[in-house]
Amino acid sequence: MSALSDTVTSTVVVDTRQSPGARLRPVAVSAVRLAGGLLAERAETSRTVSLPTQFDQIERTHRIDNFRRAAGKIDGDYVGVYFNDSDVYKWIEAAAWSLATTPDPELDARLDAVIAEIGDSQRPDGYLNSYFAVDRADERWTNPDLHETYCAGHLFQAAVAHYRATGKTSLLDIARRYADHICDTFGPEDQGRRFWIDGHEEVELALIELARATGEERYVEQAKYFIDARGHQRLPKPYGGRPKSYHQDHEPIRESSEVVGHAVRQLYFTSGATDLTLERPEPALDDALDRLWDNATDRKMYVTGGFGARWEMEAFGDDYELPNESAYAETCAAIAGAMWGWRLFLRTGEPRYLDVLERSLYNNVLAGLSRSGDHYFYQNPLEDNGDHRRSEWFGTACCPPNVARTLASLPGYLYATDDRGGIYVALYANSDATVERPGLEPVRISQQTAYPWDGTVTLTIGTTATFALNLRVPGWLSEPASFTVNGQNASVIAESSTFATIERDWAAGDTVELLLPMAVRRLVAHPKVTDDNGRVALGRGPLVYCVEAIDNAGRDVRNAILPADGAITEQWEPDLLGGVVTLSVPALFAGRDKNWDGGLYRAADEVTGGEDEQVDLTAIPYFAWANREAGPMGVWLRTTGA
């Protein structure tokens, strides 16, 4: 692993540059500048609105006061839930990644001040948790349900981001002291240490990233211990009564083939296990991760890229259990799924992982943040009667800073490179980049595109060099893609979810134009998803669409019926919801629905027909719903053709 002094030069999110199990290497957050378009607009709103208002919420809800109390600076009781420290750490991580792309002396100074408060609360032995700092000091490390190493994990991730973005070691030094305490305390009992695994996974992936940033191999070993120790049913039942599958302690991960339990915990766990096999390649673990990924994405993922069907325990359900109105689909779970997909992509170079990352990002994750930037979704249902609205904050406030850190680090997900200097375009967005390649000259690349509204992407190479340019061909395509180089030699790509490779001697100024046809797709679900039988959803490009009452004369759009055919038209609406492509969809409202005049149940032959109402429904991207007047919303609509 690299030494500390070698690592600060690159603001990468997941540093696989020296990982023996990685096929690809990341590109730094600071090396890519989003330059207009949807992702840039959402990231800028998060930077200018979400970050400052989240800090205000963190102060207002006494989350930083808890550290001041732990340091003996103020009196009073601890305020909030026992894992409130983690929300501060995620906010720090978001602010740090923001500094990696946009210098901000005021934000930098604010970070220094918050980090000082955290450091002042750290105990002499390295322990750091404000919940256990004063009156609960004797309860440290007694209850694995109280998120001690979960909070530590978010501290470690924040420390690495802050170090990489600013070069400062203030938070990294704090994190290392705590990590050393954990390593000294927990591990194999025959080595004189204690058994411990946290009820909420997260520390595993964080320890490995901390190892990548510091060169400290013992942090990888500690992550391996936590991963290997889970699954042997040594943890008590979660919160006194939930099944051990809730926190994935029911079976060892190498024997697992189904994602179960609390969705965020499961997906952070598999992300950490993927990080482990990136550092210490292991076929048995790779095989288990492949089985778990296939189960998660083929049987338990919403069309919006959301994970977690059940409100009870915030959990995955059974295979094909994907209810719409009662969907949990926590914003944090979609983020965790995207984190896992990115790691698997770096491990394998396979674009299918990016398909899921993109689906989750553009739909479930972006929906978690309001247009205004200061309201958030925790749950993301696919059907609603108008009651579900975003909130300014939550008692359990994991999702707001999680969205902020994701959007701030987005530039680091656009590109990757291989050992031969080949460049992989993972996501399309209007942007300028300087792509560093190991041992080779960096390559400047710009993207000009209106993606995801339009599928034309023009890439301009700004450096004379020889390399393979690998263009991602998304899995959502239903028609062949094509590209030209310098306007000539059109090549057709028939296969979706692949990379189109162009290897040549590039000259500065060369262009590649990629055309990804964005035909509207009527999507149907697997027959075993009973909630979606006889229904269709609408997709265009990476976006999933929904219908809201406000666009459709206040109707209860959930009662609409879409014919099996009928032309769907597209319209760019620059003044709607910040600028979106809407769909106009032929539909009808059945007379029998409107004219039902019986009780709750009637014989089928007694129901009078009535006159059907023919309408054109307006559909908007799912991520933009609930930003206007409340009313019914639906993603999956009844159809005559499914």
Interatomic CA distance for residues 256 and 170, integer angstroms: 40
Q: How far apart are CA 338 and CA 426, in angstroms?
A: 13
Residue 400 in contact with residue 392, Cβ under 8 Å?
no
Q: Is 633 helix (H, G, I), strand (E, B) or coil?
A: strand
The dihedral sign for the CA sequence 268, 272, 277, 278: positive
In the block, residue with structure tokens 């205000």: 56
Query: Is 151 one of the annotated active-site residues of the chain?
Result: no
Q: Are 119 and 170 in contact (CB under 8 A)?
A: yes
CA contacts within 13 A on the Cβ side of 239: 9
Cα–Cα dist 595/587, whole Å = 18
Question: How would you write 509-568 as a 3-class SS string?
Answer: CCEEEEECCCCCEEECCCCCCHHHCCEEEEEECCEEEEEEHHHCCCCCHHHCEECCCCCC
* Strand 32-34 relative to strand 423-425, pairing: unpaired
117 vs 120: CA distance, rounded Å: 5
Q: What is the DSSP letter of 314?
A: G
Q: Which of 398, 399, 546, 548 is catalytic?
A: 398
Q: Angle formed by the axes of helices 148-166 and 203-214, to 10°?
A: 30
Give the single-character DSSP code of 146: G
In terms of residues, how long is the chain? 642
Which distant-in-sequence residues (6+ apart) come within 8 Å of 403 by Cβ?
A: 46, 50, 331, 335, 365, 368, 369, 376
Give which of 375, 373, 388 is closest to 327, Cα–Cα.
388
Residues with Cβ within 8 Å of 359's Cβ and at least 6 positions away in sequence, in order, are 304, 305, 476, 542, 544
Please give the torsion angle defined by the CA atoms of residues 241, 245, 247 and 252, in that order, rounded to the nearest 10 degrees.
140
Burial class (CB in 10 A: 0-12, 13-18, 19+), 109: exposed
325 is catalytic: no
Q: Which helix (DSSP H) or strand (DSSP E) does residue 581 occupy?
A: strand 580-589
Q: Which residues is 310 bridged to in the sheet?
A: 315
Tokens 């219908």 belong to which residue? Answer: 547
Q: Which helix (H) or strand (E) holds 153?
A: helix 148-166
Q: Which residue has the tokens 């778990």?
A: 292
252 cis-preceded (ω within 30 degrees of 0): no
By DSSP bridging, strand 561-562 and strand 637-639 are: parallel
Crossing angle for the helix pair 283-299 and 331-348, to the nearest 10 degrees:
140
499 three-state secondary structure = strand
The one catalytic residue in 93, 148, 204, 314 is 314
Active site residues: 314, 398
